[in-house]
Chain A
Amino acid sequence: MKIVVLVKHVPEPTAAWRFADDLTLDRSAVEGRLSQLDEYAVEQAVRLGEAGVPVEITCLTMGPAPAADALRKALAMGGDRGVHVLDDALPGSDVLATSLVLAKAVQRIGFDLVVCGMASTDAEMSVVPAMVADRLGVPQASNAAELGTDGTTLTVRRETDSATEEIAVTLPAVVSVTDQSGEPRYPAFKAIMAARKKPVQTWSLADLGIDAADVGLAASATVVEDTQPRPPRAAGTVIVDDGDAAGRLAEYLATASFL
């Protein structure tokens, strides 16, 4: 079974982020890492293999040169090979352009299953999996907390605020997994060493047959007009129980439209 895991190199979430003059994130100014939410995707792909179905896992990233580090980590976690889409025309690409590039690359790799994280830890839009599925013309299961497969069907347990659903999807398909799906492993040194020897291919837009005019900042449908630092957190409301706390709590919840 051919699995492609989409992995993104993101700025370290605990670092201070800066924006460049064009209001895109200045990725060279912050240390990067494999998005933690994508680590869950790699973990799930590896576990599918460990559960008995023979898998070949390709980790796919689109990003600047340092994104190769994220790819190496994904390989140290158990991916078999990597594909890095690297092109000077790519920076600034929005989700439409990104999903176009990723879908073309997935097609070129060949796939039975595409596994993604539930969101990236930087942009947090959570739309890439759906867009990639649409471009590939295959079904998508989102927010999976548990995966299983016999090689032809994927079973998924989805957890939402209101319900837990068990669904089955016929492969090929795209699935996104949540941070409840199982803690990703910390790669051991032996796996890190082995990952250095795993094949990584670098593809350009030309390799994928994509016109540079269809990607990048200029081709993006969305434009960032302004950025603001997160407002400082306001002090919360403390209700001290003078015998009427229940009433005041209810009143507070009602004014805040929670009731």
Chain B
Amino acid sequence: MQLTEELEALRASVRDFAREVVAPVIAGHYEQHTFPYEIVRQMGKMGLFGLPFPEEYGGMGGDYLALGVALEELARVDSSVAITLEAAVSLGAMPIYRYGTAEQKQRWLPALVSGEALAGFGLTEPGFGSDAGGTQTRAVLDGDEWVINGSKAFITNSGTDITSLVTVTALTGPDEISAIVVPSGTPGFEVGPGYSKVGWCASDTHPLHLDDVRVPAANLLGQRGRGFAQFLHTLDEGRIAIAALATGLAQGCVDESVAYAKERRAFGRAIGDFQAISFKLADMRTRAHTARLAWHDAAARLVAGQDFKQYAAMAKLHASEIAVTNAREATQIHGGYGFMNEYPVARFWRDAKVLEIGEGTSEIQRMVIARDMGL
């Protein structure tokens, strides 16, 4: 599948940015577990947070193909900044754009779309992840306010200095899940300390506690009781974005490993001259290519308004699994250096695994795909 010239130009632009702005400083952030505010600011300036949103909210008027292209190129260099963008757009701003009222959109979207603010999406709870329908967080209407109590786990972009809100899912009645916007700083809304993560070390992830948090009734996002259906759709779209990100990581493994295999010598020749290495590289490139085709196809279906859910699941499943495989092989090709944090492939290896877990585990993707076959 050929992308349009515009998307190729976007790819080139983000690629330059990733190489010139992200690559030189990201290892430091990763090591120190610091959030790369300056990179995020520049990503905002080049419109990345607005890619799939219309111009009336300050967006770029693009779509999920454009977002995926940007994510792929960022993740080719680093996944922490890529997941920050992915979560901000797919999980943070998109539900507000899709389900928000005119006032909610006017109030929240412009800052999110420009990247000046970030939004989180709080679905997962300490006791419920894959079966997110088991949400225990409760919201009770008291006059014209929701009173929310509960906890959320692993919420991306929820605790940065520029986080403006987290949309949480909560029970608003028996078997009734709704989504409610909780602005940062609301009394009782406590953002726990950032997790010590295996990977994505320069991205922002926190547990959240909601203790009698009061927000206006008007902060209900979408219809009351439709929260479950809304987040399923949100996640379906997000999977395409994760697949693009995983493809980028898989391609980054190819880029780094090909260069290394040409340079590193053993037994008097470049290690790339050994077929055991060159075949690994051929397989790695093939995997990255097929993952790219899969996410392009799912995104094209979404953009065309066709059924895309099962294709998004297949793309996410495939891309995340081949990302893990490519990261493992890339580390192997780099030998001992591949186990040193200063080498990008070590970061790729640490960052790959979570792709098989976040936004629906591989098992959940297989359930979606199997269900589509009537199983």
A233 within 8 A of B: no
**Chain B hits for A187, CB < 8 A:** 9, 13, 46
Could you say which residues of chain B place their CB within 8 Å of the CB of A186? 13-14, 16-17, 42, 46
B5 & A189 in contact (Cβ 8 Å cutoff): no
A188 and B6 contact, CB distance less than 8 A = no
Interface residues of A in 98-123 (CB under 8 A from B): none
Q: Which residues B24-47 have CB closer than 8 A to chain A?
A: 42, 45-47
Report whether A189 and B12 are in contact in the complex, using a CB–CB cutoff of 8 Å: no
- Which of B60-68, B134-142, B309-317 lies on the face that meets chain A? B60-68
Instruction: Evaluate whether A192 and B46 lie within 8 angstroms (CB atoms) in the complex, with A186-B16, A186-B17 already known.
Output: no
Contact call B61/A193, Cβ cutoff below 8 A? yes
Q: CA separation between A195 and B9, bound complex, in Å?
A: 10
Query: A256 to B252, alpha carbons, bound, how many Å?
Result: 42
Secondary structure at the B interface, as helix, strand, loop or mixed, is helix
Are B60 and A190 within 8 A (Cβ)? yes
One digit per residue, 1 when the CB lies within 8 angstroms of any chain B CB and 0 when it does not, for chain A 56-86 equals: 0000000000000100110010000000000
Proximity string of chain B (259-298) to chain A, C-beta cutoff 8 Å, 1 when within and 0 when not? 0000000000000000000000000000000000000000
Question: A185 contacts which of B10, B46, B55, B66 (Cβ < 8 Å)?
Answer: B46
Closest CB-CB distance, B84 to chain A, in whole Å? 17
Contact A190 B47 (CB under 8 A): yes
In the complex the two chains form, is B60's CB within 8 Å of A189's CB?
A: yes
Interface size on A, residues (CB 8 A): 16
* A189 vs B48: C-alpha distance when bound (angstroms): 8
Name which residue of chain A comes closest to B10, CB basis. Answer: A189
Q: Tell yes or no: A196 within 8 A of B by CB.
A: yes
Residue of B nearest to A192 (CB): B9
* Set B5, B17, B66: member contacting A196, Cβ < 8 A: B5
Residues from chain B with a CB closer than 8 A to the CB of A193 are 6, 60-61
Q: Tell me, yes or no, whether A2 is within 8 Å of chain B by CB.
A: no
Contact partners of A185 in chain B: CB under 8 A = 45-46
* A188 and B47 contacting across the interface, CB-CB below 8 Å: yes
Q: Per-position contact with B for A31-56: 1 when CB-CB < 8 Å, else 0?
A: 00100000000000000000000000
Indicate which residue in B17, B42, B45, B62 contacts A189 across the interface (CB closer than 8 Å).
B62
Q: Is the CB of B51 closer than 8 A to any CB of chain A?
A: yes
Q: Which of B12, B16, B45, B55 contacts A190 (CB 8 A)?
A: B55
B16 touches A188 (CB 8 A): no
Q: Measured between alpha carbons, how far is A99 from B247 in the docked complex, in Å? A: 45
Residue of B nearest to A72 (CB): B9
A185 vs B46: C-alpha distance when bound (angstroms): 8
Decide yes or no: A196 and B6 within 8 Å by CB, A188-B47, A190-B47, A190-B55 being known contacts: yes
What residues on A are CB-neighbors of B42 within 8 Å? 186
**In the bound complex, how far is the Cα of B113 from the Cα of A190, in angstroms?**
13
Contact B55 A192 (CB under 8 A): no
Q: Given A186-B16, A188-B60, verify A73-B9 contact (CB < 8 Å).
A: yes
Bound-state CA distance A195–B5 (Å) is 11
Give A180-211 interface residues, CB cut-off 8 Å to B: 185-193, 195-196
The residue that B10 contacts in the complex, of A33, A69, A192, with Cβ under 8 A, is A192
Contacts of B14 in A (CB 8 A): 186
B16 touches A189 (CB 8 A): no
* Chain A residue at minimum C-beta to C-beta distance from B44: A188
Minimum distance in angstroms from A76 CB to a CB of chain B: 7
Do B12 and A33 have beta carbons less than 8 Å apart?
Answer: yes
Which residue of B13, B42, B45, B51 has the most chain A CB atoms within 10 A of its CB atom?
A: B13
Contacting pair A188 B55 (CB below 8 A): no
**B305-331: which residues lie under 8 A (CB-CB) from chain A?**
none
Measured between C-beta atoms, what is the minimum distance from A228 to chain B in Å? 20
Q: Given that A187-B46, A190-B55, A192-B6 are known contacts, is A73 also in contact with B60, CB under 8 Å in the complex?
A: no
Tell me the bound Cα distance from A188 to B43 in angstroms: 9
Kindly list chain B residues whose C-beta atoms are within 8 Å of the C-beta of A73.
9, 12-13
Interface centre among A187, A190, A192 (most CB of B within 10 A): A192
Q: Are B55 and A189 in contact (CB under 8 A)?
A: no
Q: Which of chain B's residues has its CB closest to A188's CB?
A: B47
Whole-angstrom CA separation of A192 from B12 in the bound complex: 11
Using A76-B9, A196-B5 as known contacts, say yes or no to A188 and B46 having CB atoms under 8 A apart.
yes
Of residues 135 to 174 in A, which have CB atoms within 8 Å of B's CB atoms?
Answer: none
Query: What residues of chain B lie closer than 8 Å to A195, measured between beta carbons?
Result: 9
Measured CB to CB, the closest approach of chain A to B48, in angstroms, equals: 8
Whole-angstrom distance between the alpha carbons of A190 and B49 in the complex? Answer: 12
Interface centre among B5, B16, B42, B61 (most CB of A within 10 A): B16
- Nearest residue, chain B, Cβ from A189: B60
The distance from the CB of A250 to the nearest CB of chain B, in whole angstroms, is 34
The CA-CA distance from A185 to B47 in the complex, in Å, is 12
A86 to B118, CA, bound (A): 47
Q: Give Cα distance in the complex from A192 to B9, angstroms.
A: 7
Q: Within the assembled complex, what's the spacing in Å between the Cα atoms of A191 and B10?
A: 10
Contacts of A190 in B (CB 8 A): 47, 55, 60-61
Residues of A within 8 A of B46 (CB): 185-188
Of A72, A187, A189, A193, most B-chain CB atoms within 10 Å: A189
Please, could you name 26 A-B residue pairs with CB atoms under 8 Å apart, sorted by A?
A33-B12, A69-B9, A72-B5, A73-B12, A73-B13, A76-B9, A185-B46, A186-B16, A186-B17, A186-B42, A186-B46, A187-B13, A187-B46, A188-B46, A188-B47, A189-B10, A189-B47, A189-B66, A190-B55, A191-B47, A192-B9, A192-B13, A193-B6, A193-B61, A195-B9, A196-B6
Could you tell me which A residues sit within 8 Å of B by CB distance? 33, 69, 72-73, 76, 185-193, 195-196
Q: What 6 pairs between A and B have smallest CB-CB spacing?
A: A188-B47, A189-B60, A186-B46, A190-B60, A192-B9, A186-B17
